[in-house]
Chains A and B, each alone.
Chain A
Amino acid sequence: MSEETPAPLWEVFIRSKRGLSHNHVGSLHAPDAEMALRNARDVYTRRMEGVSIWVVPSAVITASSPDEKDSFFDPAADKPYRHPTFYSIPKEVQQL
């Protein structure tokens, strides 16, 4: 029984309604993309949780490394001037 090669792993993304982007909901095993979609429908949308499903082979996803998370995201850390709250505006200006 353990000689079987397990079917590949797929990451599942679901658009819960029109106007929203697809969100990652989990993963599942399936031999091919077609079956992955069908399985995703049965596992993740039994209560109308989605109007669209993406399945992506887990193996093709490239992820940032948690070990370098500080240095990787560092460039954004010292640039508060990218946020509107960085700027002081005279009180007379009601909306800007």
Chain B
Amino acid sequence: MRSSGQIDQGGAEGVPTGSPAAADPVADPREADFQALIDADQRIEPRDWMPDGYRKTLIRQIAQHAHSEIIGMQPEGNWITRAPSLRRKAILMAKVQDEAGHGLYLYCAAETLGVDRAELIDLLHQGRQKYSSIFNYPTLTWADVGAIGWLVDGAAITNQIPLCRCSFGPYARAMVRVCKEESFHQRQGFESLYTLSHGSPEQHEMAQDAVNRWWWPSIEMLGPPDTDSTHSAQSTAWGIKRFSNDALRQRFVDMVAPQAVVLGLTPPDPELRWNEQRGHYDFGEPDFEELRRVVGGDGPCNRQRAAHHLKAHEDGAWVREASAAYAAKHAATTAAA
């Protein structure tokens, strides 16, 4: 990743050239103005001065988020050709296209901070930037598509709604678009799972099996517990993070637990029950060791996901080359005329 001192291009919303390298950001007098804007719940825009750490944190977080949207197309894309009806196929294609769109909104937001999308994709290919752990699980049956929409998109929405008020303008605006589109994702998943659950005994069993496998990874998707979440305090002070991982996790469980009852499916958590005093659902301890393992590269599909992305990128190189050549030729003809 480029340091901010080397930024040379950022587009209209991008960083002005010669942005300070900020050797000691704390000493910078502009930091007080910057923090005052955040404390007044104002937005930071790309050409504003910002501490180096703020820029780096956002680039890392937005890139990781963008990669997640793009890699997240794979598990569901796996079922497009085998969707059980034309209706389901059209819905699934629309959803997967939306995820591509989400990735692009987010790369666009990251680029306003002075990095190139191509650079971020290189970092993904080198394994130096991550994506959400959840997409390293396989989609074994058609019911997994429903479970992903209901649980994975549900967890994503829980995480993304507060980001609509993130202090960095382009990220917040991208999140507003994303959240508008996500509600269809969750509803189509719920509907699909509901249909299966109320179908034949085999279909019901398939839906239950999908929930058994996706329940815990979705809960873990909201991140490590607050006790060992490393960047939280600073991200909160910077208005990037508004709620802790554990608070979001509770919110997610409170949302999906009663929905499971309507679905007629049983979450694989014997400790899940309504707690009258707390006004929340109690739930068991997620396997954070597994989360660490999957984030660290050892999930069931990590290598497959990375290899597929790299292959698609390389297989598409001729299209990018051809369109660049066409544009160059066309520009020459126009200039000559």
Contact between A32 and B104, CB atoms less than 8 A apart: no
In the complex, what residues of B have CB within 8 A of residue A63's CB? 12, 47
Convert A15-43 into 0s and 1s, putting 1 for each residue whose CB lies closer than 8 angstroms to a CB of B: 00000000000111101100100000011
B48 at the interface (CB under 8 A from A): yes
Total residues of chain A contacting the partner, CB 8 A: 27
Partner of A27, one of B11, B119, B125: B11
Partner of A46, one of B98, B173, B174, B321: B98
Partner of A9, one of B94, B111, B125, B323: B111
Interface residues of B in 291-337 (CB under 8 A from A): 313-314, 317, 320-321, 323-324, 326-327, 330-331
Q: How many Å lie between the Cα of A65 and that of B132 in the bound state? A: 37
Q: How many Å lie between the Cα of A32 and that of B327 in the bound state? A: 6
Q: How many Å lie between the Cα of A31 and that of B94 in the bound state? A: 25
Which partner residue on chain B sits nearest A33 by CB separation? B327
Q: How many Å lie between the Cα of A48 and that of B121 in the bound state? A: 30
In the complex, what residues of B have CB within 8 A of residue A1's CB? 122, 125, 313-314, 317
B13 at the interface (CB under 8 A from A): yes
Interface residues of A in 42-84 (CB under 8 A from B): 42-43, 46-47, 56, 58-59, 61, 63, 65-67
B254 at the interface (CB under 8 A from A): no
Contact between A2 and B111, CB atoms less than 8 A apart: no
- How many residue pairs, one in A and one in B, have C-beta atoms under 8 Å apart? 80
Q: How many Å lie between the Cα of A6 and that of B324 in the bound state? A: 9
Q: How many Å lie between the Cα of A5 and that of B47 in the bound state? A: 24
Q: How many Å lie between the Cα of A52 and that of B79 in the bound state? A: 34
B97 at the interface (CB under 8 A from A): yes
Q: How many Å lie between the Cα of A42 and that of B104 in the bound state? A: 11
Q: Among the interface residues A1, A56, A61, which one has the most CB atoms of the partner chain B within 10 A?
A: A1
Q: How many Å lie between the Cα of A82 and that of B92 in the bound state? A: 55
Contact between B108 and A28, CB atoms less than 8 A apart: yes
Interface residues of B in 31-68 (CB under 8 A from A): 45, 47-49
In the complex, what residues of B have CB within 8 A of residue A7's CB? 320, 323-324
Contact between A31 and B11, CB atoms less than 8 A apart: no
In the complex, what residues of B have CB within 8 A of residue A56's CB? 12
Interface residues of B in 88-113 (CB under 8 A from A): 94, 97-98, 101, 104-105, 108-109, 111-112
Contact between A31 and B108, CB atoms less than 8 A apart: no
Contact between A27 and B122, CB atoms less than 8 A apart: no
In the complex, what residues of B have CB within 8 A of residue A5's CB? 324
Contact between A46 and B331, CB atoms less than 8 A apart: no
Q: Among the interface residues B11, B116, B118, which one has the most CB atoms of the partner chain A within 10 A?
A: B11
A68 to B: closest C-beta gap in Å: 11
12 other contacts beyond A32-B326, A61-B12, with CB at 8 A cut-off? A1-B125, A5-B324, A7-B324, A11-B13, A26-B173, A26-B174, A27-B11, A28-B104, A42-B101, A43-B104, A61-B11, A66-B45
| Sample (29) of A-B pairs whose CB atoms are under 8 Å apart | A1-B314, A2-B122, A4-B118, A5-B324, A9-B11, A11-B11, A11-B12, A26-B109, A26-B173, A26-B174, A27-B13, A27-B112, A31-B320, A31-B323, A31-B324, A31-B326, A32-B326, A32-B327, A32-B330, A32-B331, A35-B323, A46-B101, A47-B181, A58-B13, A61-B12, A63-B12, A63-B47, A66-B47, A67-B49
> Could you tell me which A residues sit within 8 Å of B by CB distance?
1-2, 4-7, 9, 11, 26-29, 31-32, 35, 42-43, 46-47, 56, 58-59, 61, 63, 65-67
Sorted from nearest, which 4 A-B pairs have the closest CB atoms? A58-B11, A61-B12, A32-B327, A31-B327
